Structures are given as structure tokens and as C-alpha cells.
Amino acid sequence: MSFALFALFACHSAPAATPTDAATDARPTAVEAEGSTVRAAFPPPAGATRVPGDAFGESLGGLSLAPAADPVLTYDGRPTHHHARVISLPLVPGDLQQCADSALRVRAEWRRAQGLPVMMYATSGDPMPWSRWQAGERFTAAGNKLVWRGGGAKGDSAESWERYLAAAFTYAGTLSLQHYETVAAKDPRPGDVLVVGGSPGHAVLILEVAQAPDGRRWLLIAEGYMPAQSFHVELGPVDGWWPWDAEDGLRLSHWHLPGSSLRRFKD
């Protein structure tokens, strides 16, 4: 696979899935406007309770939200028309931090804050560890592989971190998220992703999961999109939540993510 194709495996526009009436009719609720974190703003639907996740998944409920009136903006400042609540997550410069990259960034930021190794993968499968970047090495494309060279500044400054993320997002995408970062999962939990790899492809991060006594489940999801834009809670029809079907999956107005697209990070 040529590296010229790497940038294609992201959130390119695709024929929209047929939206459900519920999704089309979804409206913000008062509770969404009140909370400043994901968990405070979006309690489970009536009669349902939260499904716990691992340490990463549990951290997602604490993500900070921008004011409810803030629009989703593209990397160059243009407003979009998502029915959404913006998450306070910065973008790297340029049209790079698209759907898979936004999910990868949330995961990478959490691991770095925990003192855990940070690793991302290129579409070719080549690893891009933060530790090598910190040591002054830099990666670049050579044919259909990545090669590393010395000569870069050493350290873990905020500026170096942003440069590392931008470089990684140049080569990562939905295919690498699907094939190298995650494994198939059966039942959704916070911290999982729904990803359809390819060109076009799309990915969303599951922030919260709720379940009713009768087994019905709902997901609270976040996504970026193309062009690169604010990471945001894409609001579903039930107080911001989306009903989950193990086979049909999730039907957004702009993407159908089937049940088979559910995946879990490997570590």
C-alpha cells in the first residue's frame, strides 16, 4: 500500500445512511446545557444505569465540554451543522485530526497523563512510539514503509507532543485503528470504538454505555469528522444517547456503523 494513499483512509464524505425518524427529530434537552463534563451533562436514559468501563473508559465521563451554544468548527474556523455538544479537545494544525485521529488522541492523551507508553500505528502497520520521538528520532515515509532518523530535538515538551501527534495523524487513520490498535468486541463498554476502515471510512469513540433491566442498551458517542473539526458528542434521539442494536449497530444521519464495527483497544 503506497503512503500516497494513507491520508485517504479517514473520514471522507460518503453516501449518507438513511437516517431514522428518531435521529432526525433529536433535539437538545435542558440537561445537556447544564453539565460541564460528559457524565454531568448526559445522565443515562430513564430506567437505565451506566455500564462501567476500564480505567480509560471511566475517564471519558470526565471530559470537559464547551458551552452548549458553541458550534462544531472545522480546523479553519468554519461552523458545521452537527447536532452536537463540543468536547474541549484541541486540534493539531491543519486538516489532519479527523475521525480516527480524534479517538486516537483522546486515548494517547490519557495514556501520557497516566505515565503509560504511547504507541500509534501507521496504515502500513509500522509502529510510531512516542518514546522514540522523545529520544530525538523522527519518522517519515520511504516507499510504503516508515523509516526513522535521528537529529530531532529530545524531550517531552508540549510543543514536541503536538508535533508528534501531527506527524502520527499524517499516517494513521481508520484502517490502522481497525487493524492494529483494536480487536473485535461483542458488548459495548466505555472506551470502545465503532470503526469502519477504508476510503471512505469512519470511527466514533464510545464515551458512555447505559443498559435497561430488559437488556436494551444506549451509547453516548463522540466523533471528529472531515475536514478536521471539533471533537464532539454527536447527539442521539434519547437525551443525547443512541439506541444500540448488536447486529444493525448505530445509524447516524451521515454513517451506518454496523454491530460488527465494534472494537476494543488492545491494552
Q: Tens of pLDDT along 199-258?
A: 789 999 999 999 999 999 999 999 999 999 999 999 999 999 999 999 999 999 899 999
Q: Identify the pLDDT of residue 11.
A: 63
Nearest CA-CA partner of 4 in 223, 139, 171: 171
Q: Identify the pLDDT of residue 34.
A: 54
Q: What is the Cα–Cα distance from 131 to 37, expressed in whole angstroms?
A: 31
Helices (H), the chain: 21-24, 30-34, 38-41, 55-59, 99-113, 130-134, 158-171, 174-176
Say how many domains are in the chain: 1
Q: Identify the pLDDT of residue 10.
A: 52
> What residues contact residue 78 under an 8 Å CB cut-off, 6+ apart?
none
Q: Identify the pLDDT of residue 26.
A: 36
> What residues contact residue 54 under an 8 Å CB cut-off, 6+ apart?
189, 191
Q: What is the Cα–Cα distance from 93 to 95, expressed in whole angstroms?
A: 7
Those residues of the chain that have pLDDT short of 50 are 1-9, 12-33
Nearest CA-CA partner of 228 in 38, 93, 54, 121: 93
Q: Identify the pLDDT of residue 267.
A: 82
Range of the domain at 163: 3-265
Cα 212–chain centre separation = 25
Q: Identify the pLDDT of residue 147.
A: 97
C-alpha cell at 197: 476502515
Q: Transcribe 50-105 into DSSP letters.
A: EPP--HHHHHGGG-BB--TTPPPBBTTS-B----EEEB--PPPSSTT--HHHHHHH
